[in-house]
Amino acid sequence: VRLSSKEAIHKDDGVFKAPAPPPKVIKTVTIPTQPYQEIVTALKCRKEDKELYTVVQHVKHFNDVVEFGENQEFTDDIEYLLSGLKSNQPLNTRCLSVISLATKCAMPSFRMHLRAHGMVAMVFKTLDDSQHHQNLSLCTAALMYILSRDRLNMDLDRASLDLMIRLLELEQDASSAKLLNEKDMNKIKEKIRRLCETVHNKHLDLENITTGHLAMETLLSLTSKRAGDWFKEELRLLGGLDHIVDKVKECVDHLSSDENEEKLVASLWGAERCLRVLESVTVHNPENQSYLIAYKDSQLIVSSAKALQHCEELIQRYNRAEDSICLPDNKPLPHQNVTNHVGKAVEDCMRAIIGVLLNLTNDNEWGSTKTGEQDGLIGTAMNCVLQVPKFLPQEQRFDIRVLGLGLLINLVEYSARNRHCLVNMETSCSFDSFCTGEGDDSLKITGQIDAVQALVQLFLERERAAQLAESQTDELIKEAPTAQHDKSGEWQETSGEIQWVSTEKSDSADEKDKKEEDDEELDLNKALQHAGKHMEDCIVASYTALLLGCLCQESPINVTTVREYLPEGDFSIMTEMLKKFLSFMNLTCAVGTTGQKSISRVIEYLEHC
């Protein structure tokens, strides 16, 4: 076999040797490939007259490289800062490290990294001794506040919550804190103040930067929905509920003394935010309900009753109702020329108060009795149904009326004392009782009347209004325009084929079609408005009927009293409304809830009266 000089093979002792290795790389080029595929690198080699390429695979995409760099930067930062948080470091170093970490946490991307790597609990575990040092405790509370700015879960564990509660207690036991010096504290407060200005701080008092204030704001920003179901129990066991209830009392006490509008709004907002958290942790939680009823001899119920009475007075002074509201005596509604935020704060606080009281009295005889014992509370709840709505904007009246009715139902369902109190009470008729149109004039009653008579009157008016709205909606449906033929063209036969030939429309025809579309949209809006009004009237009538039914339970005297004000003394009008409401609840709620059982029990009782 003849071999060319280039293909010559050296033979040594019968063993053939491989050709010599290729020369060194003299140039590197990058060859881009299709999107989302790995970039391959080609190594260009030269050997005599031929060019060879060696492909190197699994080279990272530039996006992966950027992400790796960001993660590495985060890892380096957090390791450096964690090393400065350890207890063996000087106190100044620890404070500076916490402030630096809080500054980085002001950036959402860093908070995301911190949570993704599960570092939040580790940070607070390292700072577990912070309550022993006043400067460090202030920095730790600031870090908690910055982390709570996210709407996502705070990834709070029991140890972190325990630390938060301990920081809350520092305001009451400042003697245990070790203050380095006033100058250092002022520097830290100024840094924290500037830091808090960069995040959402609607409720934070920047002039009152203290450990307790920051810890309380952090706690109030949490709810059981954000922190998990365990939060309800741990907040009670660690003493967090105590601090919140005490804060409610403090805010309510200020309501009677604050003349300045800004201070008044601050007290209302403070009470409302605390009550929202308490409302959240008492939903379907009998342990928390019982604890709050018993805490400091029902301090929460006492404060809530006082706050509701204050709000009833304030809403008349700072009402946001339309000036065009009609009153029976044709007197204009007093309207203060003040900013709307005061009236809105009062309305929000009222809803939060009633929300908490609803949870504490729901299927709870002890809570109902304790709440009903508060001086004037039942009368205030009646006013929320009959009088307070006239001081609210139109869209808010339904909510406060239904909340008031719900509270009265809870109060009288299991408490004979509260039933007796309500039946023997006198009140004014509903503010809108005269607005029955051309109905029965016998419904138009003025002056003080029995509470039962006012409730029966409210039921009859809402029931008639619901029937009227239903009939009007049916008429609108019957009058709905039928489907019209398409007039944009016509079918024509040409050359043995049937084709659609469009016709040109004149400007007048276009305007006519547009007017028809507008009329149809107007009819639809009218139908929706009537349906909404019908639903509201049905719900108010149903709640009122349920309240009257609860009053009749186990009391033949109350049955006689209610029957006296019903048309022909017949309970069938109430039972029919309650049956419709029960059917509606069966469609929208889980079957077998306590509300449905109560309605069924009342229906059965009234049918045998």
Q: What is the pLDDT of residues 502-537, one digit of tens each?
A: 666 555 655 666 666 666 666 666 666 667 777 888
- Taking alpha carbons only, the member of 429, 390, 382 closest to residue 409 is 382
Do 379 and 429 meet the contact criterion of CB atoms below 8 Å apart?
no
pLDDT digits (tens, 9 = 90+) for 36-91: 444 444 555 555 556 666 777 777 777 777 777 777 778 888 888 888 888 888 88
Q: How far lies 477's CA from each of 132, 526, 557, in Å?
A: 72, 10, 45
In this predicted model, what pLDDT tens digit does every residue of 268-316 receive, in sequence order? 988 998 999 999 899 888 999 999 999 999 999 999 999 999 999 999 8
Q: How many CA atoms lie within 13 A of 380 on its CB side?
A: 23
Q: Where are the domains of the chain?
A: 241-324+333-424, 462-479+518-608
User: How far are the Cα atoms of 174, 291, 330, 445, 461 from residue 428, in angstroms, in the given order?
Assistant: 52, 36, 17, 9, 15
Q: Provide the whole-model pTM.
A: 0.75
CA distances from 145 to 139, 142, 198, 334, 445 (A): 10, 5, 12, 42, 55
For Cα atoms 86, 87, 92, give the angle at the middle one, nearest 5 degrees: 85
- Would you state the pLDDT for residue 591? 57
Supply the pLDDT for residue 540. Answer: 93
What is the per-residue pLDDT across 145-155, written as a single tens digit (0 to 9) for each? 888 887 655 56
CA distance 221 to 216: 9
- Token pair for residue 223? 């709810």
Least trusted range by pLDDT, from 200-209, 369-378, 433-442, 488-497: 433-442
Residues in the chain: 609
pLDDT at residue 218 above 70?
A: yes
Q: How far is CA 545 from the centre of its chain?
A: 30
**CA neighbor of 410 nearest in space, from 361, 445, 367:** 361
Confidence of residue 252 (pLDDT cuts 50, 70, 90): very high
Q: What is the pLDDT of residue 48?
A: 56
DSSP annotation of 490 reads: E
pLDDT value, residue 5: 47
Whether the pLDDT of residue 16 is over 70: the answer is no
pLDDT of residue 502: 66
Q: Which residue has the tokens 């349906």?
A: 531
Average pLDDT over all residues of the chain: 78
Decide: 339 and 293 in contact? Cβ < 8 Å: no
Q: What is the pLDDT of residues 411-463, one digit of tens each?
A: 999 999 999 999 999 888 888 775 444 444 444 455 688 999 999 999 999 99
* Per-residue model confidence as pLDDT tens digits over 539-570: 999 999 999 999 998 888 888 888 888 888 88
Residues 140-167: what's their mean pLDDT? 82
Q: Please, which residues bridge with residue 494 across strands?
A: 497
The structural architecture, per CATH, of the domain 241-324+333-424 is Alpha Horseshoe (1.25)
What are the backbone angles phi and psi of residue 449, rounded to the nearest 5°?
-135, 170
In 3-state terms the chain splits into helix, strand, coil percentages (rounded to 5) of 65, 10, 30
Answer whether residue 103 shows pLDDT above 60: yes
Interacting residues of 197 by C-beta distance below 8 A, sequence separation 6+:
206
